[in-house]
Structure 1
């Protein structure tokens, strides 16, 4: 259902909202259930103060400014900031009058809800910053669409969208407050690899082109991608190689030559990266098209 009477725990201090309601009384044995969610434009006098909350909740700021206080700690709210709360987690949310908050919220429950948040490093009371706010906003919009579109598998789709959202948020979070510049430098270096991987051979070449120290480049990728820049470069190269082999227009030796690699070294790297040898990968394609 998408338009029941507004529950008491949903704020009415908004000027515009798009909400959905799936199950306000989820079964206690459900592992994970999306209760409700949506987007809301806060009124200038928006103020929500709760000592408790019946569900786990994730909120994400799309625009505007405000503050949230959880566990006695006050945090600034602005675009890209996400925060969580839940049962037993008191919280106070306020907005700036001249630049009211525009934000998303997702309420969910189930005996696996808390464990899911904890596994993503965002247990109730957590504050984090998304390095790619547009990506998270897109994921939230898909979840709202799923919750607002009646279908046979609506509740299951919503749960899968929620899990995907939390994983996206975990993968694209800024590691700690004050590291926005660090994350932007990482994105600049990653984007350079994405655009030039075909001609790059070493992480040092990336560092030189991006005007950063090689050791700093390694730390950036370890912090924000949990892998080395060279490993990321190899994965981009091998994914491209797989596309060439899958097209049927290149044989293994030619693809290795295109990438400037010795065929034997190419085969080892391809298998280490994608799990199968390039010849086996190409043979699978031949079997598939017969």
Structure 2
């Protein structure tokens, strides 16, 4: 599903910064200050979330700001200063103006990742304290906590008030503090429970079309439903069924928007007993019934075109 939304302080249509990749199947971006004052302590420049296309690959030897990126779905590779690392959900990395870096996605399990670009006198020190400027990525636990911060940044960046830059700066600082808190240090083993959670989550991401209930998920992974529930409560922030349902509804939104299928057709494809049951599940996730989705998206696109 394409995730383009109206942007705050964005460039003119078609005039996005050259460092922004166009190899995406969906993106939600915001722009706050593309020309930050050199004397500022810490400034949020821009940020967002992107879904990669199978051919996605960026290679940079120069970058105008410091960037932090975090993978939430899929897999890929990262090259930092000549060293190559695997990317998967929960991996976070950073680069600076002179950091040679290359990022590419797995062509089958394409990545979805959040990013934020920052600048200012204190930026390098804050990133160093977080362990992000050692020419290697970090792995963090409690991924949902980071998603909440990135989503808060996106929301606040669009508020367009006099307090917006200060609030976003505080959230960027919180993000780096949270990385220090939740990172898994080199040589520190990730708990067996977290590995199991990752295995269950990967199973849902790969087979969500065939899975219908949390009990199905548990059976597929040879675990008890109670065990799966405890794992997602501890590490996921949402229940296993809620995570499964969101995956299904994300796909449903793609079918409604990209393929223009009818609500009943989408309900049948996703295995719901009827359109009413599907519509109720869709509204639980997105807050609107599926029949309203195309109206909202059409209105948003018309608004962008008018601007």
So what's the TM-score if we normalise by structure 2?
0.58
Among residues 142, 151, 163, which one is paired with 1:141 in the alignment? 151
The reply on whether 1:51 has 2:61 as its aligned counterpart is yes
User: What is the total number of aligned residue pairs between the two structures?
Assistant: 186
Runs of 4+ in 1 over 3 A off after TM superposition: 182-185
| Aligned residue in 2 for 1:172 | 182
User: Paired residue for 2:163?
Assistant: 153
* Other structure's SS at 1:180 match: coil
Q: Could you give the per-residue CA deviations for residues 100-153 of structure 1, whole angstroms, max 9, x where no partner exists?
A: 110001000011110111122222633100111111111111111111221110
Distance 2:71 2:90 in 1: 6
Where does residue 139 of structure 2 map in the other structure? Answer: 129
Matched, 1:3 2:10: yes
Root-mean-square deviation (CA, aligned residues, Å) is 1.8
Post-superposition offset of 1:178: 6.8
Any idea what SS the aligned residue of 1:170 has?
helix
**Correspondence list, 1:277-288, <5 A:** none
Between 1:56-65 and 1:137-146, the stretch displaced more is 137-146
Matched, 1:32 2:39: no
Q: Distance in 2 between matches of 1:96 and 1:108?
A: 27
Q: 2:185, 2:132 → 1: CA distance?
A: 12
Matches of 1:124 and 1:8, distance apart in 2: 26
- Which runs of 5 or more residues in structure 1 are unaligned? 188-290
Look up the match of 2:51.
41
Q: Report the structure number with the largest CA radius of gyration.
A: 1
Please say if residues 141 and 182 of structure 2, whose CA atoms lie closer than 8 Å, have aligned partners that are also in contact. yes
Q: How does 1:102-117 map to 2 (within 5 A)?
A: 102-117=112-127
TM-score w.r.t. length of structure 1: 0.61
How far is 1:52 from its partner? 1.4
* Unpaired segments ≥5 residues, structure 2: 1-7, 198-307
Given that 2:78 and 2:84 are in contact with CA atoms closer than 8 Å, whether structure 1 keeps it comes out as yes
